[in-house]
Structure 1
Amino acid sequence: MISTSVEQYAGILLFLIGSIAFCVVVSLAWNTLRPHKPNPEKLSSYECGEEAEGSGWYGFNVRFYRIALFFILFEVEVILLYPWALAYSDGTSIAKWGMEWSSFLLMELIVFMFLLLGGLAYVWKKGYLNWDMEKPQTEHQDSPVPPSLYEKVNEKYKST
């Protein structure tokens, strides 16, 4: 019995080894065969045939990353609901699995939805979805360093 299960997974193992070997061989061949002739024109950014103005590297607002991160997080969780919806879309599934199993799956979905809503409520309450998020207010800290020393350091590096 054990040898048959090992034989079943041997094909998958060979496929994975072959896939990795193929990727490594193609990458090595590409790196050795491609021409290596960098010049300033190739290294500059391309502006659809127009002369490039300034640098191609510019700062991107971090707020976009925050919204994108929350979108991906909740999108992945919504994708996890798809198999459940497929299982319940067919009426024969409940008859096939029995009422106990079907009610367990329903309760599991309800708990999962409450976790999703709880995460959304937390993010919303903390204000992470607001575009102009307020800066946190900190209490005044008593420091043994006198403020005049901070001012001297600021003046020293102000000119540079």
Structure 2
Amino acid sequence: MEVLAAAAAVTAPQPGHPAQPGYFHAYAVVGLLAVVGVLFVAAAFGGNRLLRPFAPTPEKLLAYECGVDPVGEGWAHTQIRYYVYAFLYVIFAVDTIYLFPWATVFAAPGFGAGTLVEMFVFLGFLAVGLLYAWKKGVLEWT
């Protein structure tokens, strides 16, 4: 009995000490790894700056366009509709990525109606967004 009481006193956390002896040690390892990573990147950039040749010429400072000398200004107008199509693609790509884990959870026993309703609510939000874009004429190519 006395042996158990002595063992409990040794393993019990003391006031003012962390609950586990290796608690802050884990954070110290993560912090040390972060510092080593930052120093590694800084050394790589510093070594690159010291070892690279530096001989700027007017030809080297030109914008590269597949071996052809650049013609005109560097500013080009891009139509906004391309960004809208890209944004809509990203939305539906994320939707597709969300469907795969949902399908695996839905197949598990005990996740029937709740996950089905959840997915229909999610798809409803996407459908409302697509309907809004269609009504605004965003999906018209010309």
TM-score by length of 2: 0.62
Choose which of 99, 108, 130 in structure 2 pairs with 1:120: 130
After TM superposition, the structure 1 = structure 2 runs for residues 90-105 of structure 1, keeping only pairs within 5 Å, are: 91=107, 93-94=108-109, 99=110, 101-105=111-115
Measure how far apart 1:104 and its partner are. 1.9
Aligned to 2:89: 71
Is 2:104 the partner of 1:86?
yes
Aligned to 2:44: 26
Aligned to 1:60: 78
Partner amino acid, structure 1, of 2:20:
S
Contact 2:81 2:138 in 1 (8 A): no
- Separation in 2, partners of 1:8, 1:119: 49
SS of 1:42's partner is: coil
TM-score by length of 1: 0.57
- Separation in 2, partners of 1:6, 1:62: 52
- Separation in 2, partners of 1:24, 1:70: 39
Choose which of 22, 32, 35 in structure 1 pairs with 2:53: 35
Shift of the 68–5 alpha-carbon distance from structure 1 to 2, 3 Å rule, reads farther
Partner amino acid, structure 2, of 1:68:
A
Shift of the 25–77 alpha-carbon distance from structure 1 to 2, 3 Å rule, reads farther
Q: Percent identity?
A: 33
Choose which of 58, 62, 83 in structure 2 pairs with 1:44: 62
Kindly tell me the number of residue pairs found equivalent between the two proteins: 124
Partner amino acid, structure 2, of 1:114:
G
- Separation in 2, partners of 1:81, 1:71: 15
CA RMSD, Structure 1 to Structure 2 (Å): 3.3
Choose which of 20, 28, 45 in structure 2 pairs with 1:3: 20
